[in-house]
Amino acid sequence: MDTGIHLTRAAKRIYEEIRTQRKHRYATLAVQQDCEISVDALGNRAASYDDFLADLLGEGKAVGAAVGAAVGAGAGQCRFAIYDYEYEHQFKQMDKSSHKQKLILFLWCPAQASVRDKMIYSSSISSIMRFFIGIQKFIQANSPDDVSRAAVELQLRALDRD
């Protein structure tokens, strides 16, 4: 089901900058005025995963708010996020490791978010997936445990070949 909510040009541009130019580590996106999805926060390449979690969970603008950031996207609010995740993959049979990079799309819908927001975000994911070509993993999260570094790496490593 498509809600008619569309991505702003800035959100599309930021996604391409993350995917092709590797300019940013992450971006969080929020639905603004029930009609468009815009950039809420942007993390530079040096940003840590903890910075990302702070922005995703609405605990502050750890790296800096994007220009025109969504209003009312604080703690307890749903969000979308794109994260360029880097990790080392250790091969079981060899004594070698490989550097991996994967683009992850998160749908953050905390338990305390309103039912209306959860429905809007859940039904808008198809619009985002249609545009965000190159996403290697989609993670829907409802609690901080779902987006912890350990939980995310466990899901990413399940995709890797040994």
Q: Domain of 45: which CATH number?
A: 3.40.20.10
**DSSP secondary structure of 86-148:** EEEEE-SSSS-EEEEEEEEEEEE--TTS-HHHHHHHHHHHHHHHHH-TT--EEEEESSGGGGS
What's the confidence (pLDDT) of residue 63? 39
pLDDT tens-digit profile of 76-96? 899 999 999 998 877 666 677
Share of the chain above pLDDT 90, in %: 62
What's the confidence (pLDDT) of residue 59? 83
pLDDT tens-digit profile of 115-126? 999 999 999 888
Assigned domain for 95 exists: no
Assigned domain for 77 exists: yes
Assigned domain for 34 exists: yes
Residue 72 has pLDDT above 70, yes or no: no
**Which is higher by pLDDT, 59 or 48?**
48
User: What is the pTM assigned to this prediction?
Assistant: 0.84
What's CA 64's distance to the chain center, in Å? 16
What's the confidence (pLDDT) of residue 20? 94
Burial of 77 (0-12, 13-18, 19+ CB in 10 A): buried
Q: What total of structural domains would you count in the chain?
A: 1
Nearest Cα residue to 8 out of 128, 143, 147: 128
- The distance in angstroms from the start CA to the end CA of the chain is 37
The parent domain of residue 138 ranges over 6-83+105-143
